[in-house]
Structure formats: structure tokens, C-alpha cells
Amino acid sequence: MGSMGTASVAGEDADDERRNVSDAAGVAVLGACAAWSLITAAAHGGRPEGVLLAVLAVAAGYAAGRICASLLPVAAPSAGALAGLGLTVAVPHLAPGPQPGPPLGHAGATAALLALATGAACCAAWSAGAGVLRPVLGALAVGIAVTAAVVGSSTAAVACTAVLLASLAAGRVRRRGPALAGLALAALLVTGGVWAVAARVLPPGLTAPLEGLLTPHRVELWRDASALARGDAALGVGPGRFEELSRAVAASSLSDGKPHSAPLQQAAEQGVVGLLLLAAVFCWMLYTLWRTARPTSVALTAGAALTALAAIAAVGNALSFTAVTAGAGLLAGLATARPLTQEPSRRAGQL
């Protein structure tokens, strides 16, 4: 009995150490994002408030998720899933003011929020164990995916379905490290594709179909952002200044002033450092999921939802919506919280 108690204490100490490292990394990365936006704004002018609000939303969502899931590991993600679903149905535009026409409107933000809600519902189902709640919460996740097809878009339906399938597969995965690395690679490939389109490096036979799918206006926004990024790769043109300098925005009768690609926006407005910091936030979230003591099924489900968000943000303006950035932080917090009660499957042996 004594050896078992010692092993338990040692395991808890190791969990605490991992959590401390993850939390310190998060503070450093989010703090660097806020500081760099202020630096670039001071250098070239601009409005860093949007970046600062996004950083605050991620941090607040992460803290709320950690606190709530430690007390209510099943109810908290369930409530988060219902909140995300309710928000997309009750507030379709997710933001006040005029909206750009399709397909550049709020569809990306809606898809991102529904993907996060699907991930939260699946995390709740895995946290519920083998009881009667698991199929009920699984049905909630399926219902969110169906809602995405009805009120969202094809992007929303595909994203939610991908999260559902990834969550089902996560139940059979024993080593989360390679799986999370695969998710990071998927996000990198999508981002690389966006850069290839913006830089005109794809062959003509592939460029034309992609431009037709993405719409010429979106591609012009991307190319403006790419040109601005090349013009000042070190500091960018300043946060929030893309709208002032983009010819595609000026030529549009109704535009939100965004390049509709988070990586390109960061590169254009905050230079290479801003782009690397955006990637660092995503990598930090995956790192916390790798190091968490939560079951692998929960960690990989959250990772799949966050990867879906990263892919959507690479081709749209999802991260411009506070509800989406707060939801990303919330899901990461929910999936990395340490419940006060013992879960059926621990992290041991699942690295």
C-alpha cells in the first residue's frame, strides 16, 4: 500500500510539473503576441486593439475552461458545446455591422465555432466514461454536425464531420504524440497551400480551379497580403493597416478590410515574427494536449477541433471574431484541466 501511495504522489507531482511548464509556455507565447503587436504598431502605426482582444479572449477562455472542467469534467464541455451551437443559431453574423457578401462573410467563423462545439461535445462524451451519458453526448455532437449542414455551409459540415471522425478514431489511438504531430502537419499543409496560391507558384492547370473554388476576390486579397509581407518582412505594415493599403479592399463595394487568411494577415501586418508567433500559439495548444494527464481520446479530439479551426482560419477571417478565439481557448482549457475526480483512463503509457 505504501509503494502504491508513493507512486500516486509521484505521478501527481509529474502532472503538476508538466502543467507548470505548459502554463509558463502559454504565458510567454501570449505575452509575446501582445508585446509584438504593440511594437509593430509603434513602428508603423496601426491598431493593435484587435490582436490584444484576441490574446485576452484566448487567455480568458483557457482559464475558464481549466477551472470549469476541473469541477465539472462532463457538464462543462457539454455546456460549452451547447453555447457554441446556440450562438451560431441565435446570432448568425457573430458580429455587428455590415457583412461582406458570400463566400467572404461570416461563414468561416460559423464553421469554426461549430467545429469547436463538436469537439467540446465529443470531449464531454469521452469524459463521461461508459455510462448512459456517452451516447447522449455523442448524439449531441452528431446533432451539431447536422446543424452545421443546415445553418452553416459546406465548410462547416466538412469541418464538423472531420472532428467527429477524428474523435471516433482517437478512441483507438494509444500514442498521442505522433497523432498530434500529424495534426500539426495537416495545418502546415493547408497554410502552405494558401501561400502557394498567394505567391503564384502553382502550375496554371491547378491555379485556375483553385481560384474558381476560392473566388477571385479572396485570391486578390491574399496576393495583396503577400505583396505587403514581402515589402516589409521584418515588421510588417502595422496591425490593422491591411485595409488601408490593399487595392482589392479598395475595389470592393462591401469589405471587412481583412485578407481572409490569418497567416497572411499576420505576415503582412506584423512580419515574419508575427507569423511565427501565430504558429507558436497553435503549437502551444497542441503541446498542452500532449502533456496533459487527460485521456488520449479527449486530447486528440480537442486537437482535431483546433486543427480544423487552424485550417478554416488559413482560408478565412475566423480569428477576427472574439467568440471564435475565446472558444479556442475554452476548448484547450477544457481538454487540459485536471478533474478533481479520477477519470477512467489516464495518460500513463499513452505518449
Split at pLDDT 50, 70, 90, the class of 28 is very high
pLDDT in tens, 121-177: 999 999 998 778 999 999 999 999 999 888 767 889 999 999 999 999 998 998 999
pLDDT at 13: 55
pLDDT at 11 over 90: no
| Angle 287-291-293 from CA coordinates, rounded to 5° | 140
Ramachandran area for residue 91 (φ above 0: left; ψ -120 to 50: alpha; else beta): beta
Cα–Cα distance for residue pair 124/204, rounded to 1 Å: 46
Mean pLDDT of 37-63: 94
Query: Quick count: other Cβ atoms within 10 Å of Cβ 99?
Result: 16
Among 143-152, 279-288, 327-336, which stretch is predicted with the lowest mean pLDDT? 143-152
Helix residue ranges, H only, 199-261: 204-214, 216-231, 242-245, 247-251
For the full predicted model, state whether its pTM sits above 0.85.
yes
pLDDT in tens, 78-125: 999 999 999 888 765 554 444 444 434 467 888 999 999 999 999 999
CA pseudo-torsion sign 142, 153, 329, 26: positive
Could you tell me the residue ranges of all domains in the chain?
2-336
pLDDT at 149: 87
